[in-house]
Amino acid sequence: MIKMSSSEKKKEIWDDVIAYKEGIAESLRNYLNNINPQKIALNYSEDDVVSDGLSHGMFLKVSSILKDKKERFISAAPIIQVVRGKKTKTEIKLITKACRLTEEINHTITSLLKPGMSETEIQKLYHQEMDHFGAVEAWQRVSCPAIDAGPDKEIGHVGPSPKHFTKRGHSLHNDFGIKLQGYCSDLQRMWFFGTEIPAELEHAFETVREAIIKAADFIKPGVTGFSVDKIAREFVKSRGYKEFAHALGHQVGTKAHDGGILLGPLWERYGDTPKGQVEEGNVFTLELHVTTKNYGTVSLEENIVITKAGCQFLVPPQEKFILIE
């Protein structure tokens, strides 16, 4: 052990620091022999990328150093997920602040939208607003926000196209998140160019919105992630649409996709993450889409925080298309 400086003690981060010169092996073995832990949690995970910080090479090295203790190795994912997932009051305030600024930027861009604008032109306006407020993108800038104009654009985290334009009688979709003071937002909104929305689009929007509300009404501490997803998924199918090909919701925090418990179906791709229980202080997205026959995709995404009895939306959910007359 080495004695810490007074400045290090004030930080109250570490109780002890173990020094080594030629290599860590002997110091690590001696330390673990002294405390003799029954389990050794390493930050690897087969299902949760945020809990999978240990490289394969480092895992092999640790396994070699502690070869007599390999049977004690377990994944630290359950610990990491709880620590990252249960947001403090300050963290929730910062995520809410990011969500509010996201909506403020959406409102500003709404006043600038008109038929004939390209997706890349619209994204540039968003980047200008983000730069003005000192916010950065919540995921890669090339696709944040995602801008999807008209019925022929497939939605997703893909970049905007200079060949797709807004047009009267068509919808516009974005998937937009910012990172502000270290915390993220992740929201999706829908616009329509015109005053008379086709019944097919109205039905789709009402389906997506109602599915989100039903999931929000159901979710509370103690329920499993897959049970929340099932509420929305079954409702969408009952309205005559194919089920959406992704999870209903992921956690939000220092990353837009913050790892941990997932609100998703029991599919192989998600492993055990949907089997975990929702906890107070978790912040989730609620997002899904349906595809219409003639007008493309309708998709919404909201951010919620789990409370003692249920959940609260961090900003008011979108209730109807935003009209660009």
Q: Are residues 276 and 160 in the same domain?
A: yes
Side chain identity at residue 78, one-letter code: P
Q: Are residues 93 and 240 in the same domain?
A: yes
Query: Residue 159: is it exposed, middle or buried by C-beta count within 10 angstroms (0-12/13-18/19+)?
Result: middle
Place 234 in a pLDDT band, splitting at 50, 70 and 90.
very high
Query: Which range has highest mean pLDDT (50-54, 81-85, 172-176)?
Result: 172-176
Return the closest-CA partner of residue 139 out of 257, 230, 31.
257
Average pLDDT, the chain: 94
Number of domains observed in the structure of the chain: 2
Q: Are residues 71 and 91 in the same domain?
A: no
CATH number at residue 251: 3.90.230.10
Rounded-to-integer distance, Cα 158 and Cα 325, Å: 27
Q: Which of 64, 80, 96 is the last residue of a domain?
A: 80
Which of the residue ranges 136-145, 158-167, 212-221, 292-301 would you say has the lowest mean pLDDT? Answer: 158-167
Q: Are residues 51 and 167 in the same domain?
A: no
Mean pLDDT of 1-7: 50
Asked if residue 212 is part of any domain, the answer here is yes
Q: What is the pLDDT of residue 59?
A: 94
Which of the residue ranges 13-27, 47-61, 86-100, 215-229 would you say has the lowest mean pLDDT? Answer: 13-27
Asked if residue 1 is part of any domain, the answer here is no
Q: Are residues 30 and 176 in the same domain?
A: no
Q: What is the pLDDT of residue 210?
A: 98
Helix (H) or strand (E) holding 301: strand 297-306
Q: Are residues 90 and 27 in the same domain?
A: no
Q: Are residues 76 and 126 in the same domain?
A: no
Q: Which of 34, 59, 80 is the last residue of a domain?
A: 80
Cα separation of the two ends of the chain: 70
Q: Are residues 310 and 169 in the same domain?
A: yes
Q: Are residues 13 and 153 in the same domain?
A: no
pLDDT at 3 over 50: no
| Residues 173-208: tens digit of each pLDDT | 999 999 999 999 999 999 999 999 999 999 999 999
**CB proximity list for 155: less than 8 A, separation 6 or greater:** 146, 148, 173, 175, 289, 297, 299
Q: What is the pLDDT of residue 156?
A: 74
Radius of gyration over every alpha carbon of the chain, rounded to an integer in angstroms: 23
Q: Are residues 226 and 300 in the same domain?
A: yes
Rounded-to-integer distance, Cα 55 and Cα 58, Å: 5
Q: Are residues 273 and 318 in the same domain?
A: yes
Asked if residue 92 is part of any domain, the answer here is yes
List alpha helices for the chain, DSSP H. Answer: 6-11, 25-35, 56-65, 77-85, 89-110, 119-133, 199-218, 225-238
pLDDT at 12 over 60: yes
What is the DSSP secondary-structure string of 20-89? -SS-SHHHHHHHHHHH--S-EEES--SS-GGG--S-HHHHHHHHHHTGGGGGGEEE-HHHHHHHHHS--H
pLDDT at 2 over 70: no
CA 323, chain centre distance (Å): 27
Asked if residue 157 is part of any domain, the answer here is yes
Asked if residue 67 is part of any domain, the answer here is yes
Structure tokens at 151: 């019925």
Q: Are residues 118 and 208 in the same domain?
A: yes
Place 14 in a pLDDT band, splitting at 50, 70 and 90.
confident
Q: Which of 80, 103, 121 is the last residue of a domain?
A: 80
Q: What is the pLDDT of residue 43?
A: 94
Q: Which domain holds residue 67?
A: 6-80
